[in-house]
């Protein structure tokens, strides 16, 4: 019986181990080995950290990463500010069919690919799009307005693309909050602001941190949205990685950039967990 249970556990865990090993661990190990190669001649390499030093030696690379990180943080904050009241209404106020319908509305945009959704925003924001025509029709603009290829367009795309990943963990967390606890807060003399501050937000903090981490990582590693909505002049770190791999065929530097993105984003996430007093176990559990 003991041997059978052990065999069953091995068979159960094997797909996960294969998935992590073949698709995550081995490719990352191989990419790290590529990143520490320095080309010294045709087909000749030596082990070196020169590719990592190139990141710190070029101000453009550092500025681009800082800009990407700050934009991703801003997108995360905006997504949280929009998603929190939406999640609270769905979890604690809406009931029955209305609750199911609202949750379905959050899911519907994700039934199509990110490419289609980004094209949709391009159609809306271009100078011949619906928003520009509405501004002209309402008299707010006397000529077509081009709203593409700027930071605002990128931010709209990032928030829209990430919204579901903020709303779902918030709904899950707030559904576990007993309504009687909120009622007790009001009975003890609290108002809406104090109940939100003292009861709702502390209870929802694991969902807030979990959703924020996912949205931040998705925004930081996003390539399609900044490229299409920001245009060729947008500075986004994933574009630098793409350029090194595909345009310049410099896989060594591209691999180093990829690991720098992974390392620096992990540092930012770790700092966020420390500041909020949360752990990965509590946020992902």
Q: Residues 223, 156: contact at Cβ < 8 Å?
A: no
Distance of CA 138 to the CA centre of its chain: 35
The tokens for 9 are: 């556990």
Q: How confident is the model at residue 284 (pLDDT cuts 50, 70, 90)?
A: low
Answer yes or no: is pLDDT of 136 > 70.
yes
Q: What is the CA radius of gyration of the chain?
A: 23
Would you say residue 86 has pLDDT above 90? Answer: yes
pTM greater than 0.75 (yes/no): yes
CA distances to 17, 19, 68, 244 from 25, rounded to whole Å, are 10, 9, 26, 22
Task: Tell me if 207 sits within 8 A of 172, measured CB to CB.
Answer: yes
> What is the three-class DSSP state of 41?
strand
Q: Which domains does the chain have, with CATH numbers?
A: 64-284 (1.10.3720.10)
Residue 165 CA to residue 214 CA, distance in Å, equals 7
Is pLDDT at 175 greater than 80 in this prediction? yes
Percentage of the chain modeled with pLDDT above 70: 96
Task: Say which residue, 266 or 44, is predicted with more confidence.
Answer: 266
Residue 109 has pLDDT above 70, yes or no: yes
Average pLDDT over all residues of the chain = 87
Cβ(195)–Cβ(186) under 8 Å?
A: yes
Cα separation of 76 and 268, whole Å?
Answer: 13
DSSP H or E stretch at residue 38: strand 37-41
What six digits make up the tokens of 63?
């500025």
Residue 168, Cα to own-chain centre: how many angstroms?
14
Per-residue pLDDT of 10-50, as tens digits, reads 888 888 888 888 888 898 899 899 899 887 777 778 888 88
- Please report the pLDDT score of residue 285 as a whole number: 58
């Amino acid at each position: 019986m003991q041997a059978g249970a052990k065999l069953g556990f091995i068979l159960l865990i094997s797909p996960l181990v294969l998935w992590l090993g073949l698709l995550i661990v081995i490719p990352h190990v191989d990419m790290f080995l590529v990143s520490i190669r320095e080309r010294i001649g045709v087909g000749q390499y030596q082990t070196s950290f020169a590719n990592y030093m190139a990141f710190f030696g070029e101000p453009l690379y550092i500025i681009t990463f800082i800009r990407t990180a700050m934009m991703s943080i801003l997108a995360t904050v905006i997504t949280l500010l929009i998603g929190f009241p939406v999640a609270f209404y769905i979890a604690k106020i809406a009931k029955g069919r209305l609750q199911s319908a609202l949750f379905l509305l959050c899911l519907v945009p994700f039934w199509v690919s990110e490419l289609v959704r980004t094209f949709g925003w391009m159609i809306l924001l271009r100078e011949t799009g619906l928003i520009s025509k509405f501004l002209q029709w309402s008299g707010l603009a006397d000529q077509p307005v081009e709203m593409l290829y700027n930071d605002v367009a990128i931010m709209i795309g990032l928030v829209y693309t990430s919204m579901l990943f903020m709303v779902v963990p918030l709904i899950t967390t707030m559904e576990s909050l007993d309504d009687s606890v909120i009622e007790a807060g009001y009975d003890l003399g609290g108002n809406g602001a104090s109940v939100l501050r003292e009861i709702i937000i502390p209870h929802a903090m694991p969902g807030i941190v979990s959703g924020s981490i996912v949205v931040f990582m998705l925004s930081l590693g996003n390539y399609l949205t900044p490229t299409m909505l920001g245009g060729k002049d947008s500075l986004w770190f994933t574009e630098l990685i793409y350029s090194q791999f595909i345009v310049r065929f410099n896989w060594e530097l591209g691999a180093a950039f990829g690991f720098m993105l992974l390392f620096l984003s992990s540092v930012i996430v770790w700092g966020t967990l420390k500041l909020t007093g949360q752990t990965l176990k509590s946020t992902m559990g």
